[in-house]
Structure 1
């Protein structure tokens, strides 16, 4: 099995299925893909990640997605990371971002909105419709944190006086807790 953009998207969706199985089923139908393909893509990506001979870090992403259309650096305090971003067909308004360290090891993978977050309202919280930065921009005082599994993320915020928790996978909104 060749591992390209379609397989990479399916591998991402495998993890998204943890929090939003109905949205993933809809996406599989849109892609004319099966659950077996989803599982196979996830298995293949996992095998590559643990292989002694397969590319690692940003090189693995480049193998699957090609050269990044955007490459640069970002500073977080005294830390400088390399940044690479790709557009994926299933999420055309977003970019998939990899932050890597000096040795090319991946420190973070997630979806971002080109140009930064946009301010969203509570009604805008639709699955796969916004990213972490959008919710942070739309709800001042929100707090970001890790989720319950690898590549899961959470943003706590208040809406109409009620505490809420938005759940994300790879930085892409899935649902409210």
Structure 2
């Protein structure tokens, strides 16, 4: 079975179900996909990551997604990493970005907005509409917090005197919680 863009999107959605199960269910219906197909895509992506024969690092993304829409370099401190970005049909206007090191090892993978974060009004912080950089751009003093699971990320910020936690999976906004509701 081949692994392409559709399967990759489903593999991403498998992890997104952790925080936005209803949104993922809606996306599956729109794609004409089943929960079984979602699980199979996740299983296949995970198996490829652990297979001795499957491509690794950046090459795995190239094999699944084809040539990136954008390639470049970015300096992060004293390191230079390669940047590759792909457009995915389920998230128009955003790009899936892979940052990799000199040997092709993946340092980070997440959704970004081309051109950088855009300051969105609070009312527009809706699931699957924004990325980590958007919250940072829109809410000065936002703090980044590692998520509770792989590929999860949280950004804490205040709006009109109330503290919030924006929850992300692969850098894509999934849910907004009041900070005082945290457990």
2:168 equivalent to 1:168: yes
Spell out, residue by residue over 1:23-58, the C-alpha distance to the aligned partner (whole angstroms, 9 max, x if none).
000000000000000000000000000001100010
The answer on 1:22 being equivalent to 2:22 is yes
Partners of 2:21 and 2:69 in 1: CA distance: 30
Counterpart in the other structure of 2:140:
140
Shift, 1:92, TM fit? 1.2
TM-score w.r.t. length of structure 1: 0.99
Q: CA RMSD in A?
A: 0.6
Q: Is 2:51 aligned against 1:75?
A: no
Instruction: Determine the C-alpha separation between the residues in 2 that align with 1:77 and 1:146.
Output: 20
Which residue in the other structure is 2:116 paired with? Answer: 116
The answer for the alignment partner of 1:57 in structure 2 is 57
Aligned residues: 177
Alpha-carbon distance in 1 for matches of 2:150, 2:160: 31
Match of 2:33 in 1: 33
**Deviation of the 1:163 alpha carbon:** 1.2
Gaps of 5+ in 1: none
How far, CA to CA, are the matches of 1:151 and 1:123 in structure 2? 25
Length-normalised TM-score, structure 2:
0.95
Distance 2:89 2:159 in 1: 32
CA distance in 1, matches of 2:75, 2:148: 27
Q: State the SS of the aligned residue for 1:61.
A: helix
Q: Pairwise mapping of residues 2-21 of structure 1 onto structure 2 (< 5 A)?
A: 2-21=2-21
SS at match of 2:38: helix
Distance 2:163 2:126 in 1: 18
CA distance in 2, matches of 1:92, 1:158: 28
Distance 1:119 1:176 in 2: 16
Q: Give the Cα separation in 2 of the matches to 1:54 and 1:145.
A: 33
